């Protein structure tokens, strides 16, 4: 298993508009978590302009498929999104632990 970061670039009106779609978004996220795909997710604060969701899987497809159906994306609250592999090496959840 590898880790992948789904990075959302949020629109300027994200906070004002997210309420309409938040329930569906959170249900989608918690279902992905139950399946073991989504590890952590949330928006960065001050300013709220980026959100990061950490996925685990064999390929970036798990994160890409999430973004394609996320109501935040499909309803224009996300300016753009990217998926990047994250080489986690330290911690209990590290996909590629490296110890001294």
Local confidence band at 40 (pLDDT 50, 70, 90 cut-offs)? very high
The pLDDT assigned to 39 comes to 97
Where do the domains of the chain lie? Answer: 2-86
Could you read off the pLDDT of 57-85 as tens digits, one per residue? 999 999 999 999 999 999 999 999 999 99
- Give residue-wise pLDDT tens across range 2-29: 999 999 999 999 999 999 999 999 999 9
Report which DSSP code applies to 2.
E
DSSP 100: -
Model confidence at 36, pLDDT cuts 50, 70, 90, reads very high
Check: CATH 3.30.70.1060 for 2-86?
yes
Asked if 5 and 84 touch (Cβ cutoff 8 Å), the reply is yes
pTM over 0.85: yes
Residue 2: per-residue pLDDT: 96
Is 75 in contact with 10 (CB distance < 8 Å)? Answer: no
pLDDT at residue 30 in the model: 98
């Amino acid at each position: 298993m590898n880790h992948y970061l789904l990075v959302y670039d949020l629109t300027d009106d994200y906070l004002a508009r997210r309420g309409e779609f938040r329930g569906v978004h959170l249900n989608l996220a918690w279902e992905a978590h139950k399946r073991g795909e989504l590890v952590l997710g949330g928006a960065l604060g001050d300013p709220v302009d980026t959100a990061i969701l950490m996925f685990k899987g064999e390929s970036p497809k798990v994160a890409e498929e999430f973004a394609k159906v996320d109501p935040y994306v499909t309803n224009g609250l996300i300016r753009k999104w990217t998926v990047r592999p994250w080489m986690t090496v330290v911690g209990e959840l590290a996909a590629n632990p490296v110890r001294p």
